[in-house]
Chains A and B, each alone.
Chain A
Amino acid sequence: MAVNKIVGSFNEAVADVFGGAVLLIGGFGGPGECPSYLIAAVARKGVNNLTIVGNSGGWGPDLIEMLRARMASVLRFPPDWYDPGLLVDRGQVSKGILSFPAAPGHIHTPFEKAVMAGKAELELIGQGSLAERMRAAKGGIAAFYTPVGVGTVVAEGKEVREFEGRSYLLERALKGDFSLVRAHKADRYGNLVYRGSSRTMNATMAGASSVTIAEVDEVVEPGALDPECVVTPGIYVQRVVVRPRDPRPWDEPT
């Protein structure tokens, strides 16, 4: 039987996401790189006690609406932008391993509110160590030493060791149960290409979990992706699911 990683629906794509799972959620902080429909499907599934891993814990539906108005003169948001804040808002998240959990101004993201209410635990980590910890998991590296974070909040409880007169922190690999990533095109092998700055954490997370699920704009025939230009080899990807042609509300099955 031919390899075929394409699944027919978002519901099917996340069917085995379980309560207590560690989810590496791709994206950075804007709409273009966010695996919106995979997040929506996990929200509909209603599993709880999730650990989310990523740059931000999301804005959530209310702040996205506020930003949509505020940013209209700069960038138009698509109507179907559902970010990790949706999961936090719905009380599905008990822990975040995040770089940018707090809103930059005097507003609060859903994750900040959950931390303040004692409903979620935060492991704050800079983007570099976060990305490298996932890369390590993908490559079978148990841990690595980095100077970044020595003498700061990040170092709490971690081994510090000197190399060549400089202090380094021991950071452990971070493997997920599921990576939810957004890509542009895929073939049935799961080979992926991205668009512009949407590559970001998506390509880093692909392969760093037991199961990687890719949300894509389009599936193409094998051979249509230039092998010189494939960014994520399909080996890292277990499932591919295609975004709906027209925007759908998050709570409508896709």
Chain B
Amino acid sequence: MPGERLDEQTMALRAAKEFQDGMVVNLGVGIPTLCGNFVPPDKEVIFHSENGIIGFGPIVTDPEEADENLINAGVQPVQPKPGMVIVDHAESFIIIRGGHVDVTVLGALEVSRRGDLANYTLPGKEVGSLGGGQDLAFCAKRTIALMTHTTRDGRPKIVNELSSPITAPACVDLVVTNIAVIEVTRRGLVLAEMAPGWTFEEVQGLTEPELIPSADLKEIELL
């Protein structure tokens, strides 16, 4: 029997470990938003949100404190923070498209063996929403896909060829799932870390493309 699958908080904790001091970071909606709670304590990062707020504080959870004029791109109220900046939408995307965002963490439906990303449609829905995710996937210096390893009915989400409409080709650098951390490299997909109790064969069994075991393959390191 394989080990447990990580919960969403733990997945976000692992992805946030990639943040380095001073980085400009944009978090997509869904599980990626949780990464904001797990910035390593010895590091300061600057959060950028598509709607034009930069360097904001944590998400507000009390409606008494929430300000409808201080929301992130997920329409969640956030706290102001000294050093915060507000720009309009065009400037916000000049920041993204000019390559000034160091790392983005995006949810994903599928990632291909080349790092192609599909995340703007929902299965069974006719109309999709690109939002700002396509700009981030094309232009951020580094793109992390954060997603469950398989669909609810157990099918691999890391695939040879996308079956859902593509958001951006060859954009994903790192995939963090609830059982593995996988690097997208020129050689192919390199399995770098596995959740406790999992073997290479078990992770491979839930992944369509062939995985290359890292020379340094290890248990997921959270801290």
Q: Given A76-B63, A100-B131, check contact A128 B87 (CB 8 Å).
A: no
* Secondary structure call for the B interface: loop
Distance (whole angstroms) from the CB of A88 to the closest CB of chain B: 12
**Interface footprint category on A:** 35 or more
- Contact with B127, one of A102, A125, A152 (Cβ below 8 angstroms): A102
A157 within 8 A of B: no
A116 within 8 A of B: yes
Query: In the complex the two chains form, is A116's CB within 8 Å of B126's CB?
Result: yes
Query: In the complex the two chains form, is B90's CB within 8 Å of A134's CB?
Result: yes
Q: Given A32-B68, A196-B53, A200-B51, check contact A74 B63 (CB 8 Å).
A: yes
List A residues 135-158 near B (Cβ within 8 Å): 135, 146-154
Query: In the complex the two chains form, is A197's CB within 8 Å of B71's CB?
Result: yes
Query: In the complex the two chains form, is A199's CB within 8 Å of B88's CB?
Result: yes
A112 within 8 A of B: yes
Distance (whole angstroms) from the CB of B144 to the closest CB of chain A: 19
B132 within 8 A of A: yes
A235 within 8 A of B: no
Given the complex of chains A and B, what is the CA–CA distance between A132 and B135 in angstroms?
Answer: 12
Query: In the complex the two chains form, is A100's CB within 8 Å of B129's CB?
Result: yes
Q: A74-B63, A129-B135, A200-B52 are in contact. List 4 more A-B contacts (CB 8 A).
A: A28-B73, A131-B88, A152-B166, A201-B88
Footprint of A on B, CB under 8 Å?
A: 29, 49-53, 60-61, 63, 66-73, 75-77, 86-90, 92-94, 96-97, 122, 124-135, 138-139, 165-169
Footprint of B on A, CB under 8 Å?
A: 28-33, 55-56, 72-78, 99-102, 104-106, 111-112, 115-116, 122, 124-129, 131-132, 134-135, 146-154, 194-204, 231
Closest 4 CB pairs of A and B: A32-B68, A196-B69, A128-B93, A128-B135
